[in-house]
């Protein structure tokens, strides 16, 4: 006789032969039936037992048929696991996470506790992935997974949402304090170097936190709000955490509204350029002009770049807007040239997305041809942090621009952690000292040390140095005493509309 048991309860099951004898019918076996072999080993089986009749329908025996289903069962469990886990890190995926959140909410309701969701997005992960390759990126994600898992209790769930996004579910938290402490621990753990092959990689993360019941009644709402809070952590300079606040949603709505309005702003001709002179500090003569973008919004009035450039950048709208700026600037400069105004160089700010766009150099070339402005009259300002994001690609793009004959300026210099070797390699003409250093000139903490250092560095690299944001005579005198040749700032003039600028600074050359 053979021994069969119920796999879940481990109790013996009634022998199917007896059942068939009693009922005189074919019987299937219960699911999860386990056959215990003579040697004590077990296999999962599926089977059925049927009666055997002789020629005059008398029951003479029972035939039992069974087969080994352990492989099929293991496969089905594996499929279930795959459907609920992330392939790369083996962490629960969104499906399983949603389940766990629902359970956690039910338990929080029962015991009057809270649930916290931590939404993590690695900072600049794309950069690592692009520059070191996907295999390295994958290993980094696995290393991050280990750190995250060891930073939480094993009753908490760490899950991966795909890409470089992770979500951590903290159950039974009494207050938001647990979430804050966990977030702090994660920030600390992740900053330690990750050893991947022979590389030491450094990565940080931004974390948004939402708490049940305050910030949402179900998984969907809690996730959305944690995501919103994460964006605020990013905006706050990355490598930090933020709790969700209701005003964040108001701001998120405003942001969406601005994006929607930006989409039609070009069509509605709502952009204008303002022009701020660059001045030779020794003789007060104008040396050039910087174009600064203004948006004439029909309801909000005049908007400054800081209110919309980041949104334009994120949505990709900066590319067509930037093209408009460049075309407008070149057209205006050509017009002034044709009117025999003194020859000046016109500078246009270029943001990251524009600079790295594959058609950027071609566009610049096309716009110069279209406007017939000689390329020596065009200057492009690119911030140091954009150039340093991918210094090698930047070098290549700068060389192409230089070949066209364009002047190149590193904007906001001093804030982007340039490596000196790259600075030497970039074919640039001008360093523009970031205004924050100019404003610190008088303060005891700095006393212009950084400004002095940048000026002498620029001079030894044979670059022109210009100081932006000069607001008073004291700053001007200090800069002059350090042999800074050029400057820009409210002390001389704010940015003006084209006609006002031309009237003040571009008196027609009569000689």
Contact positions vs ligand C2E (CB under 6 A): 276, 292-293, 304-306, 309, 318, 322, 325, 349-351, 381, 411-412, 435, 468-471, 489-490, 495
Q: Residue 284 and residue 486: Cα distance in Å, rounded?
A: 9
Q: Residue 211 and residue 75: Cα distance in Å, rounded?
A: 38
Which of 471, 447, 464 lies closest to 413, judged by CA? 464
From the list ligand C2E, Mg ion, none, which binds 190 (C-beta under 5 to 8 Å, kind-based)?
none
Q: Given the complex with Mg ion, which of 101 and 401 has the nearer CB atom?
A: 401
Tokens read off for 487: 């400057």
Q: Given the complex with Mg ion, which of 229 and 495 has the nearer CB atom?
A: 495
- The alpha-helical segments, DSSP class H, found in 318-448 are 318-338, 352-356, 360-371, 384-389, 391-404, 420-425, 435-439
Residue 125 CB, nearest distance to ligand C2E (Å)?
24
Residue 448 CB, nearest distance to Mg ion (Å)?
18
Residue 336 CB, nearest distance to Mg ion (Å)?
20
Q: Residue 137 and residue 143: Cα distance in Å, rounded?
A: 10
59-68 and 496-497 as β-strands: parallel, antiparallel, unpaired? Answer: unpaired
From the list Mg ion, ligand C2E, none, which binds 490 (C-beta under 5 to 8 Å, kind-based)?
ligand C2E
Q: Given the complex with ligand C2E, which of 180 and 286 has the nearer CB atom?
A: 286
Residue 483 CB, nearest distance to ligand C2E (Å)?
21
Say how many residues make up the chain: 511
Residue 485 CB, nearest distance to Mg ion (Å)?
17
Task: Output the CA–CA distances (angstroms, integers) from residue 397 to 88, 354, 360, 365, in the order listed.
Answer: 35, 12, 9, 13
DSSP per residue, 458-477? HHHTT-EEEE----SHHHHH
Q: Residue 274 and residue 493: Cα distance in Å, rounded?
A: 11
- List of residues contacting Mg ion (CB under 5 A): 349, 381, 411-412
Q: Given the complex with ligand C2E, which of 45 and 279 has the nearer CB atom?
A: 279
CA 198, 201, 207: angle at the middle one, nearest 5? Answer: 155
State the chain's maximal CA–CA distance in angstroms.
131
Q: Given the complex with ligand C2E, which of 379 and 468 has the nearer CB atom?
A: 468
Residue 213 CB, nearest distance to ligand C2E (Å)?
41
Contact between residue 473 and residue 454 where contact means Cβ atoms under 8 Å apart: no
End-to-end CA distance of the chain: 119
Residue 328 CB, nearest distance to ligand C2E (Å)?
9
460, exposed or middle or buried, with CB in 10 Å at 0-12, 13-18, 19+? Answer: exposed
Q: Given the complex with Mg ion, which of 121 and 381 has the nearer CB atom?
A: 381
**Is the Cα torsion angle 317, 320, 323, 327 positive or negative in sign?**
negative
From the list Mg ion, ligand C2E, none, which binds 293 (C-beta under 5 to 8 Å, kind-based)?
ligand C2E
Q: Given the complex with ligand C2E, which of 156 and 411 has the nearer CB atom?
A: 411
Q: Residue 310 and residue 322: Cα distance in Å, rounded?
A: 13
Q: Given the complex with ligand C2E, which of 20 and 350 has the nearer CB atom?
A: 350
Residue 254 CB, nearest distance to ligand C2E (Å)?
19
Q: Given the complex with ligand C2E, which of 62 and 311 has the nearer CB atom?
A: 311
Residue 318 CB, nearest distance to ligand C2E (Å)?
6
């Amino acid at each position: 006789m053979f021994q069969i048991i119920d796999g879940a309860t481990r109790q013996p099951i009634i022998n199917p032969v007896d059942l068939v004898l009693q009922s005189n019918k074919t019987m299937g076996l219960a699911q999860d039936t386990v056959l215990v072999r003579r040697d004590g080993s077990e296999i999962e089986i599926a089977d059925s037992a049927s009666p055997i009749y002789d020629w005059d329908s008398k029951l003479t025996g029972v035939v039992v048929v069974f087969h080994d289903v352990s492989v099929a069962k293991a496969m089905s469990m594996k499929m279930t696991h795959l459907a609920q886990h992330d392939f790369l890190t083996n962490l629960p995926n969104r499906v399983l996470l949603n389940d766990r959140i629902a359970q956690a909410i039910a338990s929080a309701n029962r015991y009057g506790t809270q649930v916290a969701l931590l939404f993590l997005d690695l900072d600049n992960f794309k950069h690592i992935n692009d520059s070191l390759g996907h295999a390295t990126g994958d290993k980094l994600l696995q290393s991050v997974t280990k750190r995250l898992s060891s930073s939480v209790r094993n009753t908490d769930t760490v899950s991966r949402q795909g890409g470089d996004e992770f979500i951590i579910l903290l159950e039974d938290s009494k207050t938001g304090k647990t979430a804050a402490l966990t977030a702090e621990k994660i920030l600390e753990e992740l900053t330690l170097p990750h050893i991947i092959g022979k590389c030491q990689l450094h990565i940080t993360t931004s974390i948004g936190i939402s708490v049940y019941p305050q910030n949402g009644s179900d998984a969907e709402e809690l996730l959305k709000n944690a995501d919103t809070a994460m964006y605020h952590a990013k905006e706050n300079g990355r490598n930090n955490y933020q709790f969700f606040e209701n005003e964040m949603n108001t701001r998120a709505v405003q942001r969406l509204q601005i994006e929607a309005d930006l989409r039609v702003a070009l069509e509605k001709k709502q952009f204008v350029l303002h022009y701020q002179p660059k001045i030779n500090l020794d003789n007060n003569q104008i040396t050039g002009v910087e174009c600064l973008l203004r948006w004439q919004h029909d309801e909000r009035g005049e908007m400054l770049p800081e209110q919309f450039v980041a949104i334009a950048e994120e949505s990709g709208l900066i590319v067509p807007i930037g093209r408009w700026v460049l075309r407008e600037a070149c057209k205006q400069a050509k017009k002034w040239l044709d009117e025999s105004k003194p020859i000046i160089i016109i500078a246009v700010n270029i943001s990251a997305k524009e600079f790295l766009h594959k058609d950027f150099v071609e566009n610049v070339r096309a716009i110069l041809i279209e406007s017939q402005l000689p390329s020596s009259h065009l200057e492009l300002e690119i911030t140091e942090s954009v150039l340093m994001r991918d210094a090698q690609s930047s070098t290549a793009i700068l060389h192409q621009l230089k070949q066209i004959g364009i002047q190149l300026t590193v904007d906001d210099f001093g804030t982007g952690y340039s490596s000196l070797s790259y600075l030497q390699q970039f074919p640039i003409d001008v360093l523009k000292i970031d205004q924050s250093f100019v404003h610190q000139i008088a303060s005891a903490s700095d006393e212009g040390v950084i400004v002095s250092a940048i000026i002498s560095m620029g001079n030894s690299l044979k670059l022109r140095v210009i100081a932006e944001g000069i607001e008073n005579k004291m700053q001007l005198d200090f800069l002059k005493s350090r042999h800074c040749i050029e400057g820009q700032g409210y002390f001389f003039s704010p940015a003006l509309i084209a006609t006002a600028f031309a009237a003040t600074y571009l008196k027609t050359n009569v000689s």
